[in-house]
Amino acid sequence: MKILVVNPNTSEEFNRKLEQAAKEYALPPTEVKVISPASGPKSIEGIYDEALSVQGTLDAFIDREKEFDGFVLACYSDPLVVYAMREITTKPVLGIAEASVHLACLLGNKFSIVTTNDRWEPLLHEAVRKYGVESRCASVRTTGLRVLDLEGEGEGAVEKAIEREALAAVKEDGAEVICLGCAGMSGFDKALEKKLGVPVLDGFVCALKLLELFDQYGIRHSKILTYAAPESKELTCLPSRFSKAYLKDR
């Protein structure tokens, strides 16, 4: 199967990490392509950043939708654009947060998410509640570090901060599984797992492997209500490609 990974920020470093993880975990016949939108912010550290990434991300998706069999939106949050994508394709689209929390529930009684700056604590709590698994979530912990720090050289410090919060989640909050709460943390999972002695999930790998699973089992998301194809309508001052997307599933 061919999987398109859309990293909604424009950080090439992130893409390298995701490509590396895809290389490591994708099955041999799976082809994985990682892209960033042509327009948007360098990182997504809140809702304003997310909002700035929406149009570019959708654009990149619509442009390539036909060539791929499944899609990962590689931002550890509950991105609006995942739902928009599901409305205009019949192929599976997964976010990396939802992928990881549902797998986490199958591996231990409670999971915690370790993420970057403080705003994600309320935002990811909301996401977990929307996904329905709030009773399984021990905590969302933040390192206080910025997303782009994850790219830099000081990775030793970043890794240490993540380890500290993950350990606290295990010792103080009752977490039995850790979810890495940022696409930029991709690749830290196994090293952290060794240190902590509990399963550590890289949301990107979770989403990637679930898409393979969906493909092998032949399942796709439901198109009858929440993700039904939208009725077409007049668009003003938007590229024609957005209009054509309405026609897709007719």
Interface positions, 96-115, toward a second copy (CB under 8 A): 98-99, 102-103, 105-110
Which residues from 215-244 bind a second copy, rule CB under 8 A? Answer: 216-228, 230-231, 233-238, 242
d(CA 242, CA 128): 30
Least distance (Å) from a second copy to the CB of residue 171? Answer: 10
d(CA 132, CA 236): 36
**Three-class SS state of 171:** helix
55 belongs to the binding site for a second copy (CB under 8 A): yes
Angle at 126 between CA 90 and CA 198, to 5 degrees: 90
Which residues from 61-90 bind a second copy, rule CB under 8 A? Answer: 80-81, 83-84, 86-88
Size of the site for a second copy (CB under 8 A): 97
148 belongs to the binding site for a second copy (CB under 8 A): yes
5 belongs to the binding site for a second copy (CB under 8 A): no
Least distance (Å) from a second copy to the CB of residue 156? Answer: 22
Which of 86, 80, 125, 93 lies closest to 5 in space, CA to CA? 93
Stretch that binds a second copy, among 66-74, 120-128, 159-167, 180-188 (CB under 8 A): 120-128
> Using alpha carbons only, how large is the chain's radius of gyration in Å?
18
Q: Which residue has the tokens 């060794």?
A: 194
